[in-house]
């Protein structure tokens, strides 16, 4: 099934996360300087959650601008 972008669905998902009904699973957070490690981790296909690349040195997703690569 192909999905189409939907503002309504994005708001619904954000509400579920804010209300702690669902919780995103993050495997690892890498700094932008560690992009090679993040890509290598993604290629192993063994991550148990999303792999995050942060523009800053922050080690939590809430602390930085992040990019999900996996």
Distance separating alpha carbons of residues 11 and 25, to the nearest angstrom: 19
Domain count, the chain: 1
**6 occurs within a structural domain:** no
Tens-digit pLDDT profile for residues 15-25: 999 999 998 88
Which residues constitute the domain of residue 37?
Answer: 24-68
Distance separating alpha carbons of residues 4 and 21, to the nearest angstrom: 23
Beta bridge partners of 51: 28
Tens-digit pLDDT profile for residues 28-70: 999 889 999 999 999 998 888 999 998 876 556 565 555 555 5
| CB 26 within 8 Å of CB 47 | no
**58 occurs within a structural domain:** yes
Helix/strand/coil (H/E/C) assignment for every residue in 19-31: CCCCCCCEEEEEE
Integer distance in angstroms from the first to the last C-alpha of the chain?
Answer: 19
**38 occurs within a structural domain:** yes
């Amino acid at each position: 099934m192909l999905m189409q972008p939907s503002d309504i669905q994005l708001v619904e998902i954000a509400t579920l996360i804010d209300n702690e009904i669902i919780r995103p699973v993050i495997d690892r957070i890498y700094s932008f300087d560690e992009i090679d490690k993040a890509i290598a981790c993604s290629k192993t296909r063994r991550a148990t959650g999303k792999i995050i690349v942060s523009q800053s040195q922050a080690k939590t997703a809430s602390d930085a601008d992040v990019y999900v690569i996996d």
